[in-house]
Structure 1
Amino acid sequence: MKWIDKVKKFNARSKMKTQSKSGGSLSTITKSVNRAKLKNLMNMKSVGVKLFLLIFSSILICVLVVGLFSYNISKQIIEDKVAQSSEQTISQTAGKLDVLFQNYEDLSLQLIFDNEIQNNIAALRTSKEAFVVFETTKKIETKFQSLILSNRSIAGGHLIPLSDEYPGINGGGANLSYDNVSENAWFQDVLALDGRPLWLPTRLNGYSGTGGEHTFGLARVVKSTGTNDPVYVLLIEIRYSELQNQLTGLALGSNSTVKIVDSGNSIIYSEDEKELSTINAVAIPQEIADNTAYSIRSQNGKGEQVLAPYNKFKLMDWRLLGEIPVNELVKDALYIRNMTWIMAGIAALIAIGIGYLVLRMIAFPLMQLRNLMNQGEQGNLTVRSELKQRDEIGQLANSFNQMMEKITALVNQTNQSAQEVLNTAGELSNASNKTAVSAKEIAVATEEIATGATSLATEAERGSDLTSNIGTQMKSVMEANNQMVAAAGEVESASEQGTKYMSILIEKTGMTEEMTRSMVEKVDKLKDSTRSIRKILEVLNNLTKQTNILSLNATIEAARAGAAGKGFMVVADEIRKLADQSRQSIDVVGQITETIQREIDETVGVLSEAYPLFQEQIGSVKEANQLFYSVQNQMSQFVQRLDSVTESIQTLDRSQSVLSEAMENVSGVAEEASATSEEVASLSNEQLSISEGLVKLSNKLESVSKELKDSLSRFKTNE
């Protein structure tokens, strides 16, 4: 690399300058410094490497963070805008399909309540003649086909009989009998809905399995208006191509798809017919509001991230779903990401250049100073820095040169002082030997005097020790008494606190008793309220019975009116059903009310049993409160008696102190005499030890002076 070549050139120039300044003595040092520079530069602990990495990482990270952040923000904005537009498109398309589905439901109602069809169904029920049945069936089939086949989007229609009394009616397509479809799940679901419409998913080759095209269907139960009994199941098969006509051309974006799925996420419509009746990979939440478009992000069957806007239809639990590949949405934003990586590469080159300048201006001079200091550490005081910079590094180089000059002067001066100290140490050693001989003779005489004084002090100390033991025992007695007083005070405080707690407990127990009494009263009132509810339910039950009677009368009158009263008969039948439902609801409410009243009676019984227990609890708490008062009074008397015992012990302690002080005075006099003798002996011994110490110090001073001279001899100076 270019910057490595520049490092080598810099090392060569430094070598030449050092040789010209210091001569042959520095040539070896300069060569070793130049060889180590490149190696030190690549050391990860080097300041230059750290600065280079810091600058390089900072510039590169800033560029990457700003670029990638811009890319992510733009990608999110695009996704949000496309999601809003797609939701609006999906919502409008779902509304258009709702109108189409509503037309089919209206057609089914027209078929069910057509007067001609209903009259012929009633004729089939009453007539047993084969010719009449044939003619009537033909009329129903003709009318049925005229209504069904008038709509070109309908592939066929079927009236599937629920009993043998009625023949099957076909309005196009293959015939479907009860035996063929009775075991199918959708047929049982239609019967359970009792006249409400059921939308059926797309089936290949129709619901007969023999048709030539795909169809989805609408089914509902047909009832006789005369008896309100279910007689047929109406199945309208709608051509799958009708959905294709409505949804073809609906574009949500590049490579996007549109599907219709049911509540189980099974595909009802897809541009790829192979996906029909399969489970869609994009899962839609079950609980969603009608006529409200939403969007989720998920994965499709190919494992691609897709943006999925969806909307629920009004008439059935189907969803209109769009799938837009996210990669197609954000492909324009990839330009920002690519430019980010290009700018990151350019920033890396700029960072390398800036890092080299930092190495040239900071790292290389610091390495040179460090190497010079290493040579100075090894004892070479002749090294000097050649740096001429005006920054802090140049100031550091000047300070290094001045430091080396002062250290050189200090070493020279220390050499001279060490020689003088060595000469003085020899003279001091001779004087110390003479002083040591005299000190030994004085110490022997002083020890004989100190022996007699020591015997006197020993006897005095024995009496003082006995007095001290008595004082120690008195202190132990006083401490035990003080602990007893403190314990008695704590017991008295605890008794007083217990009394307060018992007072609070009595007050709270009384409040509990009041709350229990209030609860019993409220439960009694609730019991009266349930009786009132039962009376109201009896009135409602009577109203239901009257309504039922009125419905029966209306049915009779409608039957008398003949064909003109058939519509009124349906209304009367609905009123009768409503009355039955009201009666059932009233019975359920009556059972719930009886249960509530029974539980209220049980609650009253439990509260009645608990109330005497609360009263007994209050009596027990009051007795415990009296016991706490009694304990508190007795502890007060005990504390007073302990106070009188404490005064007696304090008087005895003062007497013991006077006796102890007298014995200490006697012992002090004896010890003072002994100490005086020992002090003299000690001074003599001290003088002897000082003399011996002077001898040792003189020898040590001589040895240190020689070592100092040897240590300073390894420093190289110009002198």
Structure 2
Amino acid sequence: MKLFLIFFICIVVLVVAVGLFSYYQSKSIIEEKMAVSTEQTISEAADKLELMLKNYEAISMQFLTDNTFKTSLRNYMEPNENAYEKLTRFKELSDKLQSYLLGNNTIFSISLLPLEEKGEVKPVLAGSNFSNFDFLKTDWFKLASESDGQVIWLDSKKTGFSEGVREPVFGMTRILTDPLTGKKAFLLLFEIKLSTISDGLSKIKIGDTGQIVIVDSENNLISSPNAEAVETKFDTPLNQSDSDSTGSSIAELDSNRKLVVYKPMKVSDWRIAAVAPVKELVKETSRIQTVTWVMALIAMAVAGIAGFFVARMIGGPLAKLRNLMKEGERGNLTVRMNYSSSDEIGQLSSSFNEMMEQITRLVKQTNDSASEVLRTAGELLNASKKTAVSAKEIAVATEEIANGASSLAIEAEKGSSLTNEIGGQMRQVVESNMEMGGSAAVVQQESERGTTYMSDLIIKTNATEEMTRSMVEKVDRLKDSTSSIRKILEVLNNMTKQTNILSLNATIEAARAGAAGKGFMVVADEIRKLAEQSKQSIEVVGQITETIQTEIDETVSALSTAYPVFQEQILSVKEAEQIFKQVQGHMSSFVVQLESATQSIQLLDQSQLVLNEAMTNVSAVSEESSATSQEVASLSNEQLNVSEGLVRLSESLEQLSTSLQQSLDKFRV
């Protein structure tokens, strides 16, 4: 299969690669040649078009050099002419324009348009119609009127520049000056039929669907095979270039490659361009692609047949040899290859037969040796098992002795450690007892001081209670005095009212007395003022008294609330004094007991030292005994390990011999 695939892939890939390379190379060459050819065609078309446009420029120059026309124009512009003379000059100009128009059927209309609106000077028209002076407001008129005498080419329009145009036209303008003053006076407008250009360009064929168009600097269509597309944007962008030479490029539009060839024109800012699909230009190269795929199919068939015969010639003997080797793999050493040839497969067959002969002899010899090894391994296994049993019994006994000695040493070590720990803890307890004794003495002293302080606090609290009680009584008496003051103020207030009434009566009587009672009236008025001042002062004193009364009431309320608290505080202080006395008594008894415990612990510490020395001696003896037992046990374990290893080796040898015997039994010799 591999040989077949190699033949097949190499032949087919080579044929396809050569065919595709030829296809793409020819396609590229055709594209380049078509681009060059189209550039030449477009260059010739541009030259013809420029020649045509120059002819129209030459026609416009005839108006500038025609003396009769200039005379008629000057007389037509004179303001002192009468109406008849003006009409005569107008007819002369109109006939002149009409004669040029009739002499050239490619011109749709010729117009002589004044640059300013004047009542006497009107547009002179031949084949065109302008209503009033509306053309003055158009963009094309403003553009043309700004020129300095050179020709201005106007983009084509479907409905023309004047009224009544029935087909697409393009325009040419030139400024005419006043012969006397030299100022700009008229604009000469030619409306040229667009078919003059489009009919000539339509005769040039670039492929089946290629088209030749004329566009302006903004890519607007001037001329197109489709007349309805005039004044619209050209769908294929053209590269902007300042050069006057012909250029070409490949444009990608909607997944379609197009060849674009263009050339700028010298007489205007227009460009003539040819656009054609690349696929259409190189469609003849598809034959190469078709031939490539046909040859690829033929190559596939040839490669398949050749590969089949090669695979059969080589693969058949190899498959037979593979099957015989699988039989040998299963243990059948009697298989042989019957293939007589002098090529590499025949040599391989001979080598296979010789190899099988050698393996057969080797298996026979190995089978005999395996039987002898198996018998010797059985005898060695029996002897090893007996030695292992004896060594195991010795090792068990020695291990039990070693374990007992080790356990004794461990327990002695633990006892010694525990004794040391107990001794340390006893010393810590002694130190703690001594510290507790000191702390207890300090606490007892502080308790005595606390008891003394509490006694003083009770005395001071009782004195505070007496002072509070006395304050409450004084505040009650002050409250009664305040009530008396309020009564006195009420009497004074009544007296003030009576004084006011008396002063009023005195004023009335003085008024009755007339002049004799004026002095008395003054006195009565002063008494009334004094009564008013007394009333105000009494009111102020009344307000102060009210404030004092309120604060006394609040003080009495606060003292009444605080008095029970003082009594509860006295009870709490007395209870605290009793507690301090009880603490002092308990601390005295605790100090006595603590001293007794300290003496007992000191005696226990001395006994602990004696026990520690005894445990140390026991631990030393146990460690020596354990070391001796472990050494004996180690030797016994080594002997047991050797015996067990010998048994394992004997068993392995027996298993290996059995396995070898079984493996050799698979072969048939």
Shorter-chain TM-score: which interval? 0.5 to 0.7
Aligned: 1:315 with 2:267:
yes
Aligned amino acid, residue 382 of structure 2: N
Q: What amino acid is aligned across from residue 654 of structure 2 in structure 1?
A: E
Amino acid at match of 1:208: S
Report the alpha carbon displacement of residue 114 of structure 1 after superposing the two structures with TM: 5.8
Q: Which residue of 1 aligns with 2:216?
A: 262
2:164 aligned partner: 210
2:380 aligned partner, one-letter code: L
Identity of aligned residues (%): 43
For residue 88 of structure 2, the aligned residue among 135, 144, 149 is 135
Are residues 450 and 248 of structure 1, via their aligned partners in 2, closer, same or farther at CA, if it must alter by over 3 Å?
closer
8 A Cα contact 1:117 1:140, kept in partner: no
* In structure 1, C-alpha distance between the alignment counterparts of 2:125 and 2:102, rounded to whole Å: 7
Instruction: Report whether the alignment pairs 1:91 with 2:43.
Output: yes
AA aligned to 1:217 is G
Structure 1 residues 75-84 or 189-198, which shifts more?
189-198
Alignment correspondent of 2:23? 71
Relative to the length of structure 2, the TM-score reads 0.58
Summarize the alignment of residues 245-394 of structure 1 with structure 2, pairs less than 5 Å apart.
Answer: 246-247=200-201, 249-252=203-206, 256-273=210-227, 275-285=229-239, 287-298=240-251, 306-324=258-276, 326-327=278-279, 329-394=281-346
What do residues 159-204 of structure 1 show as CA deviations (whole Å, max 9, x unaligned)?
A: 2233134533344212224545345443343345565533223344
Does the CA contact (< 8 Å) of 1:257 and 1:271 recur in 2?
yes
Query: Residue 124 of structure 1 corresponds to which residue in structure 2?
Result: 77
* CA distance, structure 2, for counterparts of residue 290 and residue 218 of structure 1: 24
Deviations 1:671-693 (A, max 9, x none): xxx99998887555323321232
Letter in 2 for 1:265: N
Letter of the 2:333 counterpart: L
CA distance in 1, matches of 2:139, 2:94: 27
| Distance verdict in 2 for CA 1:399–1:151, change over 3 Å | same
In structure 2, the CA distance between the partners of 1:238 and 1:675, relative to structure 1 (3 Å rule), is farther
User: CA 1:415–1:98 in 2, change beyond 3 Å: closer, same or farther?
Assistant: same
SS at match of 1:234: strand
In structure 1, what is the equivalent of residue 668 of structure 2? 717
Distance in structure 2 (CA, Å) of the matches to 1:437 and 1:304: 98
> How far apart in 2 are the matches of 1:267 and 1:137?
37
**Aligned residue among 124, 140, 146 for 1:186:** 140
User: Is the CA contact (8 Å cut-off) linking 1:149 and 1:172 kept in structure 2?
Assistant: no
Asked whether the equivalents of residues 125 and 165 of structure 1 are also in contact (C-alpha less than 8 Å), the reply is no
Change in 2 beyond 3 A, CA 1:380/1:192: farther
Aligned residue for 2:126, secondary structure, equals coil
Secondary structure at 1:687 match in 2: helix
Secondary structure class of the residue paired with 1:333:
helix
- CA drift of 1:55 comes to 1.9
Q: Is the 8 A contact 2:90 2:124 kept in 1?
A: no
Q: Distance in 1 between matches of 2:658 and 2:118?
A: 136
1:445 and 1:267, CA in 2 relative to 1: closer, same or farther beyond 3 A? Answer: closer
Matching of residues 617-636 of structure 1 within 5 Å: none
Q: 1:165 to 1:424 in 2, by over 3 A?
A: same
Distance 1:142 1:127 in 2: 23
Match of 2:108? 155
How do residues 539-550 of structure 1 correspond to structure 2 at under 5 angstroms?
none
The equivalent residue for 1:691 is 643
Structure-2 change in CA distance of 1:376 and 1:185 (3 Å): farther
Following the alignment from structure 1 to structure 2, what is the Cα–Cα distance between the partners of residues 170 and 385? 117
Deviation at 1:442, TM superposition (A): 7.5
Please list, as runs of the form range in 1=range in 2, the aligned pairs for 1:4-15 lying within 5 A after superposition.
none
Give the SS at the match of 1:126. coil
Equivalent-residue separation in structure 1 for 2:279 and 2:648 (angstroms)? 93
| Cα pair distance change 1:384/1:332, threshold 3 Å | same
Distance 1:220 1:300, change over 3 A: farther
CA deviations 1:649-690 (Å, max 9, x no partner) are xxxxxxxxxxxxxxxxxxxxxxxxx99998887555323321
Matched position secondary structure for 2:309: helix
> Which letter does structure 1 place at the counterpart of 2:192?
I
Q: Could you tell me whether the CA contact under 8 Å between 1:149 and 1:156 is conserved in 2?
A: no
Change (3 A) 1:441 1:217: closer
Q: CA deviation at 1:396?
A: 3.7
User: 3-state SS of the aligned residue for 1:307?
Assistant: strand
Amino acid across the alignment from 1:321: A
Matched-pair contact (CA < 8 Å) for 2:74–2:179: no
- State the 1:91 CA deviation: 1.2
Structure 2 letter corresponding to 1:295? S
Q: Structure 1 pair 250/445, CA: closer, same or farther in 2 (3 Å)?
A: closer
SS in 1 for 2:186: strand
Aligned to 1:200: 154
Structure-1 separation of matches of 2:627 and 2:20: 91
Is the contact made by 1:168 and 1:177 (CA closer than 8 Å) also made in structure 2?
no
Aligned partner of 2:10 in structure 1 is 58
Runs of 5+ unmatched residues, structure 2: 410-625
In the superposition, relative to structure 1, how do residues 209 and 63 fare at CA in structure 2: closer, same or farther (>3 Å)?
farther
Q: Is the 8 A contact 2:214 2:271 kept in 1?
A: yes
Alignment of 1:535-614 (within 5 A): none
Are the equivalent residues in 2 in contact too, given 1:55–1:355 (CA < 8 A)? Answer: yes
- Normalised to the residue count of structure 1, the TM-score between the two structures is 0.54
* Mapped partners of 2:253, 2:648: distance in 1: 97
- The 1:440–1:322 alpha-carbon spacing in structure 2 relative to 1, beyond 3 Å, is closer
Q: What root-mean-square deviation, in Å, do the aligned CA atoms of Structure 1 and Structure 2 show?
A: 4.3
Q: In the superposition, relative to structure 1, how do residues 173 and 434 fare at CA in structure 2: closer, same or farther (>3 Å)?
A: same
* Distance of 1:417 and 1:444 partners within structure 2: 40
C-alpha change, 1:95 and 1:403, in structure 2 (3 Å) is same
What is the distance in 1 between the residues matched to 2:275 and 2:637? 109
CA positional deviation for 1:338: 3.0
C-alpha distance in 1 between matches for 2:389 and 2:252: 107
2:373 aligned partner: 421
Q: Shift of residue 208 of structure 1?
A: 3.2
Indicate the SS of the match to 1:381.
coil
The amino acid across from 1:219 in the alignment is T
Q: 2:359 aligns with which of 407, 420, 424?
A: 407
CA distance in 1, matches of 2:349, 2:335: 12
- C-alpha deviation, 1:343, in angstroms: 1.9
Aligned partner letter, 2:156: T
Flag structure 1 segments of 5+ consecutive residues without an equivalent.
1-47, 456-673
Distance 1:689 1:271, change over 3 A: closer
One-letter amino acid of the counterpart of residue 356, structure 1? F
Is the alpha carbon distance of 1:444 and 1:85 closer, same or farther for their aligned partners in structure 2, counting shifts above 3 Å?
Answer: closer
Q: Deviations over 1:595-622 (max 9, x none)?
A: xxxxxxxxxxxxxxxxxxxxxxxxxxxx
| 1:701 correspondence with 2:658 | no
Counterpart of 1:468?
A: none
* Structure of higher CA gyration radius: 2
Shift of 1:314: 0.6
1:240–1:380 CA distance, 2 compared to 1 (3 A): same
SS state of the match for residue 102, structure 1? helix
The match for 1:460 is: none
Does structure 1 retain, via aligned residues, the 8 Å contact 2:72–2:93?
no
